A and B are shown apart, each in its own frame.
Chain A
Amino acid sequence: MTKKDNQKDEAMQQLMKDPRFKLLTAVIKKNQNQSDTLIQILHQAQNLFGYLPMPVIKYIAEALSLPPSQVYGVVTFYNFFSLKQKGEHTCLVCTGTACYVKGAEKILAAIHEKYGIKPDETTQDNKFGLQIARCLGACGLAPVAVVDNEVVSKVRVEDFMPILEKKIGGKP
């Protein structure tokens, strides 16, 4: 075992002390270590950790007797799962057809102009992340955006930017 591997193991052990792993173990147990529940377990893991760090992926793979590559493959296949930590604040702009037709693009452009980030990017200080959603199913209220879990509907750029600034707090 190389020195690098040793360091990795240490990092893993450090993480194992995290109380959230106990909760994750309980989730896996509840699903009886069945490999077909992998996606359901990943959902719960992401809820716990906010994203899916490598040790978590390895841990789940071992518990379900799956190769880590397969779990990694599933994680990267589905849009819902993230390998990276999200920004402190998030803004999710719906770009479904109805929202697109009603000007979601303008909101993205305004955010890009102000914060210099495109969809799936986070500001350098990790304070604010921008994401897009395919359709939030609230098409009657298009365009729709979600700022830190709060839904803003019938968004107009001029009204929206102040809301966003207030949430994030000043300039990046």
Chain B
Amino acid sequence: MSREDLKQMAQRIQDDKKKYAYTIFACNASGCIPSGSEAVFEALKNCVKDRKLEDQVRVVSCGCMGICAQGPIVRVDPDQSIYQKVTVENAHRIIDEHIIGKTPVKDMLLFSHEKEPLINSFEETFFKKQKRVVLRNCGRIDPQSIDDYIAEGGYQALEKVLKRMGPEEVIAEVKHSRLRGRGGAGYPTGLKWEVVYKYVSDKKFVVCNADEGDPGAFMDRSVIEGDPHRVLEGMIIAAYAVGAQKGYVYIRGEYATAIKPLETAIKQAKKNGFLGETIMGTTFKFDIEIRIGAGAFVCGEQTALIASIEGRRGTPRPRPPYPAEKGLWGYPTLINNVETFANISAIIVHGGEWFCETGTTKSTGTKVFSLAGKVKNTGLIEVPMGISLREIVYDIGGGILDDREFKAAQTGGPSGGCISKEYLDRPVDYESLVELGSIMGSGGLIVMDDTSDMVDVARFFMEFCMDESCGKCVPCRVGTKQMFDLLNKIYIGRGTMADLKVLEELAIFVKEASLCGLGMSAPNPLLSSLRFFKEDFLQHIQRNEKVVKPLI
């Protein structure tokens, strides 16, 4: 398949779609399903059938549009009208009033892009400050259709790489973009690729880490649900660059709604010659298999993930050797996060230079966050790196629920920390967050208001780490348990100032002595709470009333 073929194919699919006067996108991602979106999708489809509009209206079940709190969301294109909280009962009004009657259903409208009545300022706030690179197609295409992806320019990056670039050029371009790993640690992606490329081996592997274990994070899931081919394309390009023949997507067992579209996408890619032997008519071959995890947070750690793919207990091992040298079955293995792979095709098509235009000098590009907790507009957002926390919470998030006071924002899940009010104007990038004792993490961002008790939050994360510790190294296994007990003691009102001191000492010890990232970062939420919210701890220690011990 040549470049022209691909472009013609995209054109043809686009022309095909033009016969539809309207396209109705019904969100069917994990955020909307619990609100009953599947039934809404069926209702819309049946209604179109009933009114005999099948030739003019296309109803598509799509990925996340971001505004999860208002779900189920339905968008009508080309008008770009977004309807909120659509139900089976009122779904027909979209067809009858908007499509047949040509007047948007005002009382259901979240906002409309049309000039006349802008229902509220949602567009101004929620979407204006966002920049969509990874989520470009999310909620705008049918994730189950490879044609939709191709029509949006999909697989053109792969064609460019296979036909006109050598592996070194691909790596140079990725290095030039200064893309950093989106899984949390922020290791430069180009460098990682280069290391794997340089090892000489008859077998190499590419692994996509979709074991999104941080509680409060659902970005990777949404990317896979909404645009699975983008992730696959990134993986295939990576395989070409490093010289791998086999790839795995390691995905959480909890993500049943993401596994299915991924399976479909792999099948379609194989059928269309983007995966398998002789990819796009070249001699390059590459195949991808899905491995389903079984609920172990530690498996997000590279070496534990490798053990799990090999069918063993997911316990990490000391590094070096790093997976880039000795990974799956001892062969060089490239492991990147879902979002990292999802950035690749845009970098190849538009160039590394273009990618650097967004973000800060050290943290380029955009970052997808799942915004949750006590904020008005919870959902999935993608923002340029370097945006301030204030803009995320107040402009995009619409402020705190019930207009209460902002207390803290938690990033990086159990490995991250809480950022207090004083730092709301700091830019959100890798370095600033580390400075504040947190980490970028995979992108969970949980907002807490003045009713949140930071001792409880620290206790919550410590319980999580204690439970998820694999038990291999002592500092993590025993340390997290001791810290949890101390936190519990303080929480129920029996703590002393001496406990606080021991807690701090222990935290530093566990951080320095643990074997893998889980243990090394487990004390982070505690340390950052101690740093910014010592008051909360003192209050617990100084008050006399005892609190009932919580169940979890």
Q: Which residues of A sit under 8 angstroms from B491, Cβ to Cβ?
A: none
Give Cα A73–Cα B314 distance, bound, in whole angstroms. Answer: 10
A35, closest chain B residue (CB): B311
Binary contact readout A64-98 vs B (1 if CB under 8 angstroms, 0 otherwise): 00000010011001111100000000000001111
Q: Is B198 an interface residue (CB 8 A)?
A: no
B460-490, CB < 8 A from A? 460-461, 464, 468, 470
The count of chain B contact residues (Cβ–Cβ below 8 Å) is 57
Least Cβ distance of B60 to chain A in Å? 21
Q: Which residues of A sit under 8 angstroms from B313, Cβ to Cβ?
A: 73-74, 77
Binary contact readout A112-124 vs B (1 if CB under 8 angstroms, 0 otherwise): 1000001100000
Q: Is B294 an interface residue (CB 8 A)?
A: yes
Q: Is B44 an interface residue (CB 8 A)?
A: no
B281-322, CB < 8 A from A? 291-297, 308-315
Q: Which residues of B sit under 8 angstroms from A51, Cβ to Cβ?
A: none
User: Are A144's CB and B34's CB within 8 A?
Assistant: yes
Least Cβ distance of B217 to chain A in Å? 7
Q: Which residues of B sit under 8 angstroms from A96, Cβ to Cβ?
A: 215-216
CB < 8 Å: which of A38, A79, A132, A144 contacts B311?
A38
Q: Which residues of A sit under 8 angstroms from B444, Cβ to Cβ?
A: 97, 139
CB < 8 Å: which of B30, B296, B311, B464 contacts A138?
B30
Give Cα A144–Cα B31 distance, bound, in whole angstroms. Answer: 11
User: Are B214's CB and A135's CB within 8 A?
Assistant: yes
Known: A39-B291, A78-B294, A102-B373. A118 touches B551 (CB 8 A): yes
User: Are B291's CB and A40's CB within 8 A?
Assistant: yes
Question: Contacts A78-B296, A97-B461 given; 8 further ones with Cβ under 8 A?
Answer: A38-B312, A39-B294, A95-B552, A97-B372, A109-B550, A134-B215, A138-B33, A139-B216
Instruction: Give me the interface of B with A, judged by CB distance under 8 Å.
Output: 30-31, 33-35, 68-69, 71, 212-218, 221, 253-255, 291-297, 308-315, 370-374, 378-380, 410, 413, 444, 446, 448, 452, 457, 460-461, 464, 468, 470, 550-552
Q: Which residues of B sit under 8 angstroms from A77, Cβ to Cβ?
A: 296, 313-315, 470
User: Are B292's CB and A40's CB within 8 A?
Assistant: yes
B371, closest chain A residue (CB): A140
User: Are B410's CB and A74's CB within 8 A?
Assistant: no
Q: Which residues of A sit under 8 angstroms from B461, Cβ to Cβ?
A: 97
User: Are A135's CB and B311's CB within 8 A?
Assistant: no
Known: A43-B292, A105-B550, A135-B214. A140 touches B31 (CB 8 A): yes
A118, closest chain B residue (CB): B551
Q: Which residues of B sit under 8 angstroms from A102, Cβ to Cβ?
A: 373-374
Known: A80-B253, A95-B552, A101-B446. A138 touches B292 (CB 8 A): no
User: Are B71's CB and A141's CB within 8 A?
Assistant: yes
Give Cα A100–Cα B444 distance, bound, in whole angstroms. Answer: 14
Q: Which residues of B sit under 8 angstroms from A95, Cβ to Cβ?
A: 215, 552
Give Cα A38–Cα B291 distance, bound, in whole angstroms. Answer: 11
Q: Is A56 an interface residue (CB 8 A)?
A: no
B255, closest chain A residue (CB): A137
User: Are A39's CB and B295's CB within 8 A?
Assistant: no
B551, closest chain A residue (CB): A108
Give Cα A136–Cα B106 distance, bound, in whole angstroms. Answer: 33
Q: Which residues of A sit under 8 angstroms from B30, Cβ to Cβ?
A: 136-138
Q: Which residues of B sit under 8 angstroms from A98, Cβ to Cβ?
A: 215-216, 372-373, 378, 446
Least Cβ distance of A112 to chain B in Å? 6
CB < 8 Å: which of A37, A109, A135 contacts B216?
A135
Q: Which 4 A-B pairs have the closest CB atoms?
A: A140-B68, A96-B215, A78-B294, A79-B295
Give Cα A113–Cα B444 distance, bound, in whole angstroms. Answer: 32
User: Are A37's CB and B33's CB within 8 A?
Assistant: no
Q: Is A142 an interface residue (CB 8 A)?
A: yes
A41, closest chain B residue (CB): B311
**A96, A102, A144 — most chain B CB neighbours (10 Å):** A96
User: Are B372's CB and A140's CB within 8 A?
Assistant: yes
